[in-house]
């Protein structure tokens, strides 16, 4: 009789009750052990390894216990996965299709203790798909309920958790001012009112050696995070965060809150107007004005040549470009004879489309694996930041997003983007240790009409 090696997989969505001596994971395993014992006559043998995921949602496959189990399946160490219910394995119909394909490739299968049917028949597969559809529906309804709860609570001015902003400490469902940190916040607003430029504020902040908020580390011991120099994206987030004026943002809505304000609301509104006016001046610059090129030093082509910002003035208007270094012959001029071998990309279009694609990528990865061990409240806060960046002031938001790029490599057909972990963490106001570095590198489609003298761009799937 052929021996069928059985591995038990258990999962629980919340951490509630996991500290108990006998919890849900133990109950699931006990039921699976009994089921395997009942199939001893079929050659079923229990493997000793435990594959458990406690306090982890079934909405994605990036779970430590499940990934370890799948690696063992791929290596031919497991013939049968035994679960208490199918939704312990996954709540996503799309993910389930991937799992079935992977198990089939390894000549393995799975069985649910409480849901008995044969997936070798068309009726069995239909039943399985129906069950998974309901499991996915339940997950999506739960997510909607959480989002509605957060929206209702914010409307009442309650603090819904997550990383506490610089200048505050949590006090139940509200916040208390931490005076030492609050003085840093006031300094940042005063510096902006004095200089009228985030770049100038950054220089002053570096000179004064101001640092971000110190946060407790994710690990054990006395490890702490934060206390790093401010980056421009972080400064912009603080200067536009209504929390400091005694308000709270939820998507495009602003509500009054119950915690005390650090910045006078009139001062905060003045800063917002100045930020808006500064962005408008930048958009309207032409001719003699100089304009920031946020991708300077970050753009490369496939052979490693850097793309350098340049411009051309036509009929009183300034047009910006990013041009391959080898096309320059000096004094900012380009060699048209080398145009066919290099890139000449319109800066405004490239910057806008890259910023849009980065926001889309972060939104898509957020509920899956962008953040590690993060609460639903914190994910909701980060989603608000990303939504606001997509719907807010175009130029200022673009600057904050593009500041997160570490390197962008342009090749015919796609652009490879690598985001800077520290810059993303500072912009989202989270510890860099909570960001999954693997989620910060990605490729997007890239189409063009010409190379050299002129290029019409289409970046991403638009």
> pLDDT value at position 263?
93
Domain that holds residue 26: 4-146
Last residue of a domain, one of 240, 263, 284: 284
Read off the pLDDT of residues 378-404 as tens digits, 9 standing for 90 and up: 787 888 788 877 765 556 678 888 989
Q: Evaluate whether residue 232 is within a structural domain.
A: yes
* More confident call, 104 vs 38: 38
Q: Compute the average pLDDT of residues 341-351.
A: 84
Q: Are residues 88 and 174 in the same domain?
A: no
| Domain CATH number, residue 89 | 3.40.50.1390
The pair of structure tokens assigned to 48 is 């000793």
Q: Evaluate whether residue 170 is within a structural domain.
A: yes
Contact 326, 338 (CB under 8 A): yes
SS3 content of the chain, % helix, strand, coil (to 5): 45, 20, 30
DSSP state of 174: E
* More confident call, 457 vs 148: 148
Q: Which residues of 206-239 are buried (b: 16+ CB within 10 A; e: fewer)?
A: eeeebebbebeeeeeeeeebbeeebbbbbbbbbb
Contact 238, 254 (CB under 8 A): no
* N residues, the chain: 462
Helix, strand, or coil here: 253? Answer: strand
Contact 91, 135 (CB under 8 A): yes
Q: Evaluate whether residue 123 is within a structural domain.
A: yes
Pick from 442, 406, 412: nearest CA to 424: 406
DSSP state of 298: T
pLDDT at 336 over 60: no
Q: Are residues 359 and 405 in the same domain?
A: yes
Q: Are residues 321 and 394 in the same domain?
A: yes
Read off the pLDDT of residues 221-268 as tens digits, 9 standing for 90 and up: 445 667 788 888 788 889 998 999 988 877 778 888 888 999 999 999
Q: Evaluate whether residue 53 is within a structural domain.
A: yes
Q: Compute the average pLDDT of residues 212-220.
A: 64
> pLDDT value at position 252?
73
Q: Are residues 350 and 438 in the same domain?
A: yes
Last residue of a domain, one of 124, 146, 168: 146
Q: Are residues 215 and 331 in the same domain?
A: no
Domain count of the fold of the chain: 3
Provide the percentage of residues in the chain whose pLDDT is more than 70: 85
Question: What pairing do the DSSP bridges indicate for beta strands 168-171 and 174-177?
Answer: antiparallel
Cross-strand bridge partners of residue 317: 314
Identify the sign of the CA torsion 416, 420, 425, 431: positive
The pair of structure tokens assigned to 305 is 């040549």
Read off the pLDDT of residues 403-461 as tens digits, 9 standing for 90 and up: 899 999 988 888 999 998 888 888 887 777 888 888 899 998 887 765 445 556 667 65
Q: Are residues 209 and 241 in the same domain?
A: yes
Q: Are residues 461 and 429 in the same domain?
A: yes
Q: Are residues 280 and 170 in the same domain?
A: yes
Residue with tokens 């300034």: 318
Last residue of a domain, one of 92, 114, 146: 146
Q: How many CB atoms lie within 10 A of CB 253?
A: 10
Q: Evaluate whether residue 377 is within a structural domain.
A: yes
Q: Are residues 126 and 203 in the same domain?
A: no
CA–CA separation, 462 vs 456, rounded Å? 14
Q: Evaluate whether residue 450 is within a structural domain.
A: yes
Q: Are residues 37 and 89 in the same domain?
A: yes
Q: Are residues 28 and 55 in the same domain?
A: yes
The pair of structure tokens assigned to 25 is 């994971």
- Give the phi and the psi of residue 159 in degrees, each rounded to 5: -85, 125
Contact 351, 322 (CB under 8 A): no
> Which residues fall within 8 angstroms of residue 358, CB to CB, at 6 or more apart?
401, 402, 404, 405, 417, 419
| Domain CATH number, residue 196 | 3.90.1750.20
Q: pTM for the whole thing?
A: 0.43
Q: Evaluate whether residue 389 is within a structural domain.
A: yes
Helix, strand, or coil here: 265? Answer: helix
Contact 240, 275 (CB under 8 A): yes
Q: Evaluate whether residue 151 is within a structural domain.
A: no
Q: Are residues 370 and 431 in the same domain?
A: yes
């Amino acid at each position: 009789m052929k021996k069928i090696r059985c591995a038990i997989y258990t999962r629980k969505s919340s951490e509630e009750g996991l500290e108990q001596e006998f919890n849900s994971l133990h109950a699931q395993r006990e039921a699976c052990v009994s089921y395997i014992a009942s199939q001893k006559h079929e050659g079923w043998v229990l493997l000793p390894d435990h594959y458990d995921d406690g306090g982890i949602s079934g909405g994605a496959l990036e779970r430590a216990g499940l990934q370890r189990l799948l690696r063992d399946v791929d290596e031919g160490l497991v013939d049968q996965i035994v679960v208490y219910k199918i939704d312990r394995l996954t709540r996503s119909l799309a993910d389930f299709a991937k799992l079935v394909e992977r198990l089939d490739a390894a000549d393995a299968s799975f069985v649910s203790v409480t849901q008995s049917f044969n997936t070798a028949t068309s009726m069995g597969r239909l039943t399985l798909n129906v069950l998974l559809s309901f499991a996915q529906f339940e997950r999506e309804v739960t997510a909607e309920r959480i989002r509605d709860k957060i929206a209702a609570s914010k409307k009442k001015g309650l603090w819904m958790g997550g990383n506490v902003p610089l200048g505050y400490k949590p006090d139940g469902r509200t916040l208390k001012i931490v005076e030492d940190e609050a003085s840093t916040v006031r300094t940042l607003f005063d510096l902006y009112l004095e200089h009228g430029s985030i770049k100038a504020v950054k220089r002053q902040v570096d000179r004064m050696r101001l640092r971000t908020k110190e946060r407790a580390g994710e690990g054990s011991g006395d490890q702490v995070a934060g206390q790093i120099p401010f980056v421009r994206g972080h400064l912009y987030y603080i200067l536009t965060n209504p929390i400091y004026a005694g308000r709270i943002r939820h998507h495009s809505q602003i509500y009054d809150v119950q915690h005390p304000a650090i910045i006078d609301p009139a001062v905060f509104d003045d800063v917002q107007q100045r930020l808006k006016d500064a962005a408008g001046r930048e958009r309207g610059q032409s001719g003699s004005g100089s304009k920031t090129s946020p991708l300077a030093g970050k753009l490369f082509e496939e052979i490693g040549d850097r793309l350098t910002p340049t411009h051309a003035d036509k009929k009183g208007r300034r047009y910006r470009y990013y041009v391959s270094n080898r096309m320059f012959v000096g004094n900012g001029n380009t060699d048209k004879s080398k145009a066919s071998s290099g890139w000449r990309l319109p800066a405004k279009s490239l910057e806008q489309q890259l910023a849009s694609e980065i926001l889309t990528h972060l939104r898509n990865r957020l509920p899956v694996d962008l953040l590690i061990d993060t609460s639903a409240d914190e994910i909701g806060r980060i989603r608000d930041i990303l939504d606001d960046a997509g719907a807010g002031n175009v130029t200022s938001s673009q600057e904050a997003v593009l500041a997160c790029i570490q390197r962008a490599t342009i090749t015919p057909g796609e652009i490879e983007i690598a985001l800077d972990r520290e810059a993303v963490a500072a912009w989202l106001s989270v510890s860099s240790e909570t960001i999954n570095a693997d989620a910060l590198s990605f490729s997007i489609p890239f189409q063009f009409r010409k190379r050299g003298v002129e290029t019409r761009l289409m970046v991403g799937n638009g």
